[in-house]
Amino acid sequence: MNVLLSDTSTETLSIALSTDTSYEERLVSGAFRHSEDLLPEIEALLSRAGITMKDLDLLITAKGPGSFTGLRIGMASMKGISSALSIPLVSVPTLDATAEAVSFYPGAVLSVIDAKKQRYYLSMKKGGCTIIPDTDGNTGDVIDAIRKEDMPTLITGPDAAAFAQRLLEEDSRIRILVDGEAPRNLSKAFLALGRRKFMEEGADDPGEGPVYIRRSDAEEALERRMKERKDGV
């Protein structure tokens, strides 16, 4: 089975291609431009494996939360390939893949992505069960749940260290561990969850889109303008 993964939910692009005879994953960070570089990177990955897009059997993409622009570009690109070539597409929540990458840890796992504006996208899981669902929040939204755990909570994700520092500033005795390999390559976690979702639920509905949790700056600006106009009447 030839499976292509694309994760554009953060500033770092993560793509991977798994075939019956090969596997390659690639992380691109720095001056990467999702809108211009995503498809060339995918084509290069396919070329090195000796296959074309028509040979793909399944597409997997990050569903969010994460970067508004990155998620839109990633989802639109994979949907375009899916629609044009009739290849099934499944989307996987970003924070689920973040937790899956450290599923070996026996205690609770707190996944963290910087959401800007002094806030974070957060999710807390333990043993496959959700303690705190995906949320746009901060330390106050998770600290009580962490205190209830009988062993240290593992903080993971691209912004684990910064969030852990905030927790310690609020409570220096809180029992946490910081994932020493964060940010991790999530490709294999996305692939595992994507395959599982496809086997259990099938492909995404064509109308399904990214999960943002928070409204974009443009949406908030539009609401402010509408409110100003209404108040001015």
8-52: per-residue pLDDT in tens? 998 788 899 999 999 999 988 766 666 678 899 999 999 999 999
pLDDT attached to residue 78: 96
Q: pLDDT category, 219, cuts 50, 70, 90?
A: very low
Are residues 203 and 56 in contact, defined by beta-carbon separation less than 8 angstroms? Answer: no
Task: Look at residue 133 and tell me whether its pLDDT is greater than 60.
Answer: yes
pLDDT attached to residue 32: 60
Domain with CATH 3.30.420.40 in the chain: 3-93+186-216
pLDDT attached to residue 31: 60
User: How, if at all, do strands 89-93 and 58-64 pair?
Assistant: parallel
Q: pLDDT category, 213, cuts 50, 70, 90?
A: confident
Strand partners, 135: 122
Instruction: Using DSSP, state whether 189 is helix, strand or coil.
Output: helix
Are residues 98 and 157 in contact, defined by beta-carbon separation less than 8 angstroms? Answer: yes
- Superfamily assignment of 3-93+186-216 in CATH? ATPase, nucleotide binding domain (3.30.420.40)
* Model pLDDT for residues 153-165, shown as the tens digit of each residue: 999 999 999 999 9
Are residues 122 and 108 in contact, defined by beta-carbon separation less than 8 angstroms? Answer: no
pLDDT attached to residue 10: 86
Task: Look at residue 206 and tell me whether its pLDDT is greater than 80.
Answer: yes
pLDDT attached to residue 218: 46
Q: What is the pTM of this model?
A: 0.88
Strand extents, DSSP E, 127-175: 129-137, 153-156
With respect to CATH, is domain 102-178 assigned 3.40.190? Answer: no
pLDDT attached to residue 229: 61
Pull the structure tokens for residue 62. Answer: 């990050």
